[in-house]
Amino acid sequence: MDLTPIWLTLKLAVIATLLLFIAGVPVAWWLSKGRSFFKIVLEAIITMPLVLPPSVLGFYLLMAFSPQHGVGQWLLHTFNIQFVFSFQGLVLASVIYSMPFMIGPVKSALQQLPVSLSQASWSLGKSRWQTFVHVLLPNIKPSLLTAVVLTFAHTLGEFGVVLMIGGNIPGITRVASIAVYDSVEQMDYSSANTYSLILFSITFVLVVAVFVFNKYHLKSPLE
């Protein structure tokens, strides 16, 4: 029984979640303020992976980053980076595909905080960044946790996007969801069952943990 796909999946989920947390939280903060047309369009683009068939997204990523075309060719020749059929390609696809799961809950939580919290902090001479770090973020902890866990769990379960851009290269792009499919194709139901059970267990434990945490902490800190 080869457990490499499980480790690869966990590695991918950790990296994608970390990248999305670092980049997604400030983006969510920016989106939570004001409603310009540009922000609406950007938010729609970020939300697209929720409704788009993963294979469509994967296809466009494959086209965009193919080493034979435009951006992919430029990246390969300039930086020697290849996103297609590589682990970094999986990371890129995962970040794009799971982006709404990080940005959505954080943005909603920030919008629900009274604007007077920020104003009170500004009146004490604190900058917008200090206000964000010391006042806003600590008061949306349950939503931050929900966003992190949903992003992680969603990345664990990716199939269509990663298959399109990464293929099925053992040790490099063969993540657990692809290993399940591959095992079934080879009629190796025992391996398929083991991979599925591990994925199911991890996801179940994560989701239950969030529900338990939120049961005690989801009450608005303002109540």
Instruction: Give the integer Cα–Cα distance in Å for 219 and 193.
Output: 39
Where does this chain touch other proteins (CB under 8 A) — which range of 39-47, 127-135, 151-159, 205-213? 127-135
- Residue count at the site for other proteins (CB under 8 A)? 19
Q: Does 201 bind other proteins (CB under 8 A)?
A: no
Q: Which is nearer to other proteins, 38 or 125 (CB)?
A: 125
> Which residue in the block uniquely carries the two structure tokens 């086209």?
63
Q: Which residue of 1, 22, 36, 125 would you call a contact of other proteins, by CB under 8 A?
A: 125
Smallest separation (angstroms) from other proteins to the CB of 93:
36
Give the three-class secondary structure for 67. coil
Q: Does 114 bind other proteins (CB under 8 A)?
A: yes
Q: Does 111 bind other proteins (CB under 8 A)?
A: no
Which 134-153 residues touch other proteins, going by CB under 8 A?
134-135, 138-139
Q: Does 127 bind other proteins (CB under 8 A)?
A: yes
Instruction: Give the integer Cα–Cα distance in Å for 207 and 218.
Output: 14
CA 40 to chain centre: 20
Q: Does 117 bind other proteins (CB under 8 A)?
A: yes
Helix residue ranges, H only, the chain: 4-32, 37-51, 54-65, 70-79, 87-112, 115-123, 128-131, 141-156, 160-166, 176-185, 189-217
Instruction: Give the integer Cα–Cα distance in Å for 204 and 196.
Output: 12
Q: Which is nearer to other proteins, 113 or 206 (CB)?
A: 113
Q: Which is nearer to other proteins, 22 or 222 (CB)?
A: 222
Instruction: Give the integer Cα–Cα distance in Å for 178 and 161.
Output: 11
Sites of contact with other proteins (CB under 8 A) = 114, 116-117, 119-127, 134-135, 138-139, 221-223
